[in-house]
Amino acid sequence: MNKFFEILKKSSVSNTRLGTINTSHGKINTPAFIFCGTKATVKSILPQQLYSTNTQVILSNTYHLMLQPGPEIIAKEGGLQSFTQWNGPMMTDSGGYQIFSLGHGSVSQEIKGRNNNIQKKSLIKITEEGATFRNYLNGDKVYLSPEKSIDLQRYFGADLIFVLDECTPFNVSKKYTENSMYLSHRWAKRCLNSFHSPLGKYDSNFGSSGAQSLYGIIQGGIYEDLRKIACEETCSQDFDGLAIGGSLGGNKEQMYEIFSYCENYINKSKPVHVLGIGGMDDILHGVSCGYDTFDCVSPTRIARHGIMLSKSKIKGLNLNNSKFKDDHSSIDEKCNLTEINKFTKSYIHHLFKSNEILGMVILSIYNIWFMNNFFEEIRNSIKNDQFESYKKEILVNLGK
């Protein structure tokens, strides 16, 4: 088997790089976008459509899968790839993000600095040992520890897996962020130990030991000194990859500052994943810092709300808008996907006006194709020493 991560080319003016992550389910050309298949499905999309859109890798969520269908069902099927029939590389998160979103309302709002605590809290407690929370499906108490998270991810069998961390929110004190970071560091070591231990009753049948790669997660919130400590600690451990997690600040400037803090202290021989980032501008900044992979629900989530990604509008085109009713142009004349490229905007507008699932399907396929095409352009621009001008052109078109 090839080395897990290979750097094929590096920019002479920045940390931007071209690479390959090798997994037992195939290679990932980086920079790459990772699509969310939360509950073992990229919502509304067949594996065949993931292939046709040149998707490289998808991410499922340990928290959701541990509750439904549970690890035994997936292990019996031979792991997530057999279960989902997506035979390319997969990633699972550790459950940390969801568990702490349950404690702090919506983390996706929280880590961006918006404290709208409207989601019902169901975290019961976090201790040194682990976290106890309520099963959102039936109210049962559920316990998750670093060891359990790793075991679950080994049963699921994704290629790229994560340590359990506390995903620190934005609206907490520096002291909370610091204590939380140290807790995450202790949990990370327990995850490493668990990762290298026998799997228990599924070990002989279903464990995919050796075939999985473990990512450590860098916390530290918006504080440069904490990010430095987190980078040094995480990089000193025997992880296959690194991830930038926790709060990325309350605005884009703070996010890009955090990107820079980590860029300075990170081990550049390992692949770096940025958790939960999907904006084209944010991705371009991340690529500038030498970050290799990005995941976000947004391309497929906005698709289900009628929004198609666009290089000329940062928020995309909202096909619900009445101006598209009489727009008989095709979805995108540059799109070469024969399964969807003949549909007109008028037809897709009609589907959303009629609450038809097919509208969601078409735009999900389109947005996945769009993101994969965007990353292919990024990789080509790096290959041709033109990333900086490509980045500038995209940002100018987006009005950024």
Which residue type occupies 45? Answer: I
Nearer of residues 340 and 382 to a second copy, judged by Cβ:
340
74, 64 Cβ separation under 8 angstroms: no
Residue 344 DSSP one-character state? B
Is 93 assigned a catalytic role? yes
> What is the nearest approach in angstroms of a second copy to the Cβ of residue 41?
4
290, 272 Cβ separation under 8 angstroms: yes
> What is the nearest approach in angstroms of a second copy to the Cβ of residue 198?
25
- Calculate the CA 327 to chain-centre distance: 34
Q: Which of 159, 165, 282, 295 is catalytic?
A: 295
Nearer of residues 280 and 308 to a second copy, judged by Cβ:
308
Query: Phi first, then psi: what are they for 108, rounded to 5°?
Result: -60, -30
Q: Which of 93, 159, 282, 332 is catalytic?
A: 93
| 91 C-beta neighbours (distance < 10 Å), count | 27
> What is the nearest approach in angstroms of a second copy to the Cβ of residue 139?
16
Nearer of residues 22 and 341 to a second copy, judged by Cβ:
341
Binding site for a second copy (CB under 8 A): 39-41, 43-46, 48, 64, 68-69, 73, 76-77, 83-85, 325-326, 328, 338-340, 342-344, 346-347, 349-351, 353-354, 356-358, 360-362
What is the edge-to-edge ordering of all strands in the sheet holding 123-126? 123-126, 131-134, 141-144
Which residue type occupies 356? Answer: E
Is 295 assigned a catalytic role? yes
Nearer of residues 47 and 245 to a second copy, judged by Cβ:
47
Q: What angle is formed at CA 378 by the lines to CA 374 and CA 383, rounded to 5 degrees? A: 145
DSSP three-state, residue 323: helix
> What is the nearest approach in angstroms of a second copy to the Cβ of residue 13?
43
95, 108 Cβ separation under 8 angstroms: no
Nearer of residues 8 and 73 to a second copy, judged by Cβ:
73
> What is the nearest approach in angstroms of a second copy to the Cβ of residue 160?
22
How buried is residue 290: exposed, middle or buried, by Cβ count under 10 Å (0-12/13-18/19+)? buried
Q: Which residues are catalytic?
A: 93, 295
